[in-house]
Structure 1
Amino acid sequence: MTAATTAAISTTAATATATAPTPAELRSAELERHLVQDPGRFRVLTGDRPTGPLHLGHYFGTLNNRVRLQNLGVDVFVLIADYQVLTDRDTAERLGEYTDGLLLDYLALGIDPARSTVFNHSAVPALNQLLLPFLSLVSVAELGRNPTVKDEIAHSRQSAVSGLMYTYPVHQAADILFCKGNVVPVGQDQLPHLELTRTVARRFNERYGNVFPEPDALLSAAPLLLGTDGTKMSKSRANSVPLGATPDETARLIKGATTDADRHITYDPDARPGVSSLVLLAALCLERDPHEVAAEIGTGGAAALKRTVTDAVNSHLAPVRARRAEYAADLTYVRSVLRAGNERANAVAEATLEEVREAMGTIR
């Protein structure tokens, strides 16, 4: 998806809602201009939890943007957050399999190990050691009222909420600040987490001296893609179309997607969310305006819509799937990418922890 296509779809959505941009959106737009003008000033921290296959929502929501930022010349750190799997799960099942899957998707989509650093939580002890001093800078009340923590608790599959769940936002702050990330690509729902990271950085600097930047949010320009059941596309809800799916699997999943009884296909996200999400998916893959795609399908109904979407997705992902298969045939190389990334992340984390110790006076 090109930047022009994203902008066009975003402009369409903005026109439809006719709402004024929020302060966070204005700051993000200004940040985007600076990123393009001087990418070398910035370091991005982003990542995923290895809890299942990445899907089309990830692809258009975050993954494409990581590659774009990397190609601009921004220093990109991509975290495989294996420790965070334990926040809402009793055990980290299939962790190795899912980690390999993330690596395969990253490489197939264009993450370049020579320009981006891919690493995992559990391999970087100094990063995790930052959690202790950072926890001393926030109150229990601040953690308890974090909206993302509340949502995670509400959807937790554990019989009881672990203490790790409450530390999740502070652990995320350590993820961002260990490498002195100053840009974090997020959706609107992640803004409270990032605000807590900014709070941790500010309080540490005020108490111990200037060590950390206060990272800014780069808001995603990609509209939300719904899952096949009409709710938010999610690995845990079994309603997604995985990037690693075969063409036949993709066709089967899209065929079962929720639509409505109106045969005339239109793009109207508020009134027809299921239909509109499918139209949008086709438009993103075809790099076209969703209204044009809907108009071409016309009175073809849900069957014609789903055929259009299936063909668009399979065509768009064909080269990605081919590269993924090539990498899957050489897992020794794929895992070496993670080892090299872990080495760099460790060096960065240890240097930051050394600064923290000196600032706090714990080294004599």
Structure 2
Amino acid sequence: MVRRKKEKAKRPLWGVPKGIVLLATPDGWRTSVLTAEGGMLCGRLDVPVDTDPRDARTAAAAMVRELARDFHATDVEVAWDAPREPWSWTAQVTPAPDEGMLPGSGRAAGQENISFMHNPTTIRTFGLRFAVPQHPHAIEQWAEVRPLVDGRDLLAEIHPDGTSSCSARHLLGPAGGWPFAASDEPRRVELSNNDCVTDCCGGTFVSVRRRGDRVLWTSWENTHDNRAPLPADLCFDAAQYDAELARAGADVSWEGPVDTAARLLAGELADHTAREDWDRVVIAVRPERTEPARVTVCLGRRGAPRAQEEEEEEEVLVRELLVTGREPLRELVRRFVLRITAEDPRGGPVP
């Protein structure tokens, strides 16, 4: 009897993707695809050199999805992180949820859903509430914007000692750039931190995307404690979700005087930094919950690298607005903005 040599199953030549790095270079767009096995696949992205960054991200995501299907017969989702540099982007790649059923794909082995989100197919009610910092030395002094699910504080369940990474200052710009804004392209959103940067002390993350008349929160991650339970994927009615975002963006009923002053000041300075004859840009506007309360404004030199601004004190203009509550805030802010924008672009007062 002749024994047939047993053939070993061939492993895929390309690992399971877990991340993407996209770079805009003078020679064209380049990608590095990171795999769960520790590998990396690098190459040129097949798009013209002058392709819009959004279209380049779409092409890179499509390429990774196609490779995952071809090599591993699996569908994946790509969620782009907020860019740290204008020429580079990173994305997280995770297994795609099944259509119709939204399993908790963000759970680690052995983890269970938190109780009030056990059924991932239920349409949940989305909410937001503002929480004013109680500690005067907290890193973030803008009010927290905390997500609610069916009226319950989500972060209190999954990161009870953490701080929301979304604050009232994030709701000052265009609605499309707000942390919880949902689009057809998945985005990885930092939900919470430990009053520190998440690269250092960890936090919780989720992928937010719009699918038809639904908004999905999927691919949960806890870099603070991987033993902590994570929710099942969440599904919201898109119309209710958008309406709640709009309501929260317009809500100022929770503000104290220093919060109102900081909001008005940020808006006024955003308008003034568009002036070509003023050589300053806003680095930060911070409410300070001291006694008396104040708003601190940091202005940098237009075009100066941020590292240079932080290292060279003369490059940073710091001004403080005291908020005593004894005069109308709009008039107080108006006079303050006129005073600092009248200063010479080189940093000294106008003679």
Pairwise TM-score range, normalised by the shorter structure: under 0.3
- Larger RCO, structure (CA 8 Å, separation 6 or more): 1
Structure number with the higher helix fraction is 1
What is the TM-score with the length of structure 2 in the denominator?
0.23
Structure label with greater radius of gyration: 2
Structure number with the higher strand fraction is 2
What is the TM-score with the length of structure 1 in the denominator?
0.22
